[in-house]
Amino acid sequence: MTDVGRLPAGTLDAATGPPRPQIQVVPLRGLPIVAAVVAFVIASIAGNWLWALTFCHVVGGALWTAIDLFVGLIVGPILGRLSIPARAEFSARFMPKMVLLMPTLVLMTLAAGFQLALKEGNLAPTSPNHAWLIVSYCIVGVMAVIALGVLEPANIAVLVEMRKPAPDGEVIARLMRRFLVTAGITGVMQVATLIIMTRVATQ
Amino acid sequence: MIADPAAVPVRPIDRRFPPVAELATVSLALVVVGGVLMASYVPRRPPLGVPGAIAAVSAALVLTSVFLLSRLHRFAWDRFFLAFRWGLLAYVISAGMIAFAFIRDHTRGAPLALVLGMLVIFALDVPLIIAFTVARYATPPD
């Protein structure tokens, strides 16, 4: 796995290379897109539109799962082998986008998915999908706690640290270690979600 | 000559803090468990005993976390409140959407009140964890 957790203290400050890019913790230009997506999800739920709910759930869920697995299994290990300035530059451009993208995809997937399950009758106790959906709630619950309680605070704290004139490599390393510790858990959870959702869709 | 150790400022990373983020994360986990229990009964009326007890413990944990936080001296409060304000805005919107879905699906009375209570805890927990994590690594103003 990645060894971003082994970044020594003060290395970012001492690192030579291209000047560090200006970091915006929350990319403001992305907020109108997020607002449009949220408005679309609200309208889909209010109107109980089957196509729109399916679109939000399938597109949101596919992107969420794919990005999570791709970043955890492909990008993370590559990032761990880059030079420290390259890692810092990549993270400075990549992580602000994730701050907006992932919560929006999660909100879109879960809100539309719950409404869709209700509309399709999958939440009824007599439905063969009921037990599968309860298991998926539990999986999503674990992922939500990891994402909201562990990863998102670390992501934002890393970005704030990188905005400082002399970022502390040890702080960034300590925070990034959380991504390594949880990558395996979220990977397994995402694969389990794929199995459950394909099972639910075909019963 | 040996410098007075008390005069040497401690780096934020070396400072020990009370378990503010840990307690808030457990509180968040409990709210999620309560939410899963409630959601697993939809569209039927859920029994409220266990989710209510879980919500009460969760609320107690977040209050303890806030109490511990309020007792901190030399803390980057400016950073904390900056991150907390924006986090609160984002998670009030998230919680509002979830509340809207429950209301839209005709959840009423005590179950709705319990869900709203859990959403309030959720909307406080996440910004609290984010803001504390950001501020604990910031150098407090002199």
Q: Residue A21: pLDDT band by 50, 70, 90 thresholds?
A: low
Q: Which tens digits make up the pLDDT trace of B82-131?
A: 999 999 999 998 899 888 888 887 788 899 999 999 999 999 999 999 99
pLDDT of B89:
92
Comparing alpha-carbon positions, the chain A residue that sits nearest to B40 is A134
Report the 3 state secondary structure along A103-124: HHHHHHHHHHHHHHHHHCCCCC
Residue A198 burial (C-beta neighbours within 10 Å; 0-12, 13-18, 19+): exposed
CB atoms within 10 A of CB A133: 21
CB contact under 8 A, A148 and B129: yes
Average pLDDT over residues B58-79: 95
ipTM of the complex: 0.86
pLDDT over 80 at A191, yes or no: yes
pLDDT of A3:
40
Distance from the A122 Cα atom to the nearest Cα atom in chain B, whole angstroms: 10
The span from the CA of B119 to the CA of B99, in Å, is: 8
What are the chain A neighbours of B97 within 8 Å (beta carbons)? 38, 41-42, 107, 111
pLDDT over 80 at B4, yes or no: no
Q: What is the percent of chain B where pLDDT is above 70?
A: 94
pLDDT over 60 at A6, yes or no: no
pLDDT over 80 at B45, yes or no: yes
pLDDT of B1:
47
Contact in structure between A186 and A111 (CB atoms under 8 Å): no
Contact in structure between B126 and B63 (CB atoms under 8 Å): no
The verdict on A199 touching B (C-beta cutoff 8 Å) is no
Of A107, A138, A168, Cβ closest to residue B94: A107
Cα–Cα distances in angstroms (integers) from residue A131 to residues A155, A186, B48, in the given order = 34, 21, 20
Q: Residue B37: pLDDT band by 50, 70, 90 thresholds?
A: very high
Interface contacts A/B by beta carbons within 8 Å: 91
Of A123, A137, A171, Cβ closest to residue B36: A137
The amino acid that residue A68 corresponds to is D
Cα–Cα distances in angstroms (integers) from residue A84 to residues A7, A15, B70, in the given order = 8, 7, 37
The verdict on A165 touching B (C-beta cutoff 8 Å) is no
Tokens representing A116 are 């869709």
Q: What is the percent of chain B where pLDDT is above 90?
A: 65
What are the chain B neighbours of A174 within 8 Å (beta carbons)? 13
pLDDT over 60 at A185, yes or no: yes
The verdict on A45 touching B (C-beta cutoff 8 Å) is yes
Distance from the B2 Cα atom to the nearest Cα atom in chain A, whole angstroms: 25
**Averaged pLDDT of chain A:** 84
Average pLDDT over residues A19-24: 69
CB contact under 8 A, B90 and A103: yes
pLDDT of A19:
63
Between residues B127 and A98, the one the model is more confident about: B127
Q: Name the 3-class secondary structure at B124.
A: helix
Q: Name the 3-class secondary structure at B43.
A: coil
CB contact under 8 A, B126 and A149: yes
Contact in structure between A45 and A112 (CB atoms under 8 Å): yes
The span from the CA of A37 to the CA of A106, in Å, is: 12
How far apart, in Å, do the first and last CA atoms of chain B sit? 26
Q: Residue B6: pLDDT band by 50, 70, 90 thresholds?
A: low
pLDDT over 70 at B2, yes or no: no
What are the chain B neighbours of A137 within 8 Å (beta carbons)? 36, 39-40
Average pLDDT over residues A174-180: 83
Of A41, A46, A157, Cβ closest to residue B134: A157
pLDDT over 70 at A2, yes or no: no
pLDDT over 90 at B56, yes or no: yes
Between residues A18 and A110, the one the model is more confident about: A110
Beta-carbon contacts of B48 under 8 Å, excluding residues fewer than 6 positions away, are: B110, B111, B114
pLDDT of A17:
56
pLDDT over 50 at B48, yes or no: yes
The amino acid that residue B101 corresponds to is A
pLDDT of B34:
94
pLDDT over 50 at A1, yes or no: no
pLDDT of A20:
63
Residues from B contacting A (CB-CB < 8 Å) are 11-13, 21, 24-25, 28-29, 32-33, 35-36, 39-40, 42-44, 79, 83, 86, 90, 93-94, 97-98, 100-101, 104-105, 125-126, 129-130, 132-134, 137-138
**Among A102, A111, A100, CA closest to A39:** A111
Distance from the B37 Cα atom to the nearest Cα atom in chain A, whole angstroms: 9
pLDDT over 70 at A4, yes or no: no
- Maximum mean pLDDT: which of A135-149, B10-24, B93-107, B120-134: B120-134
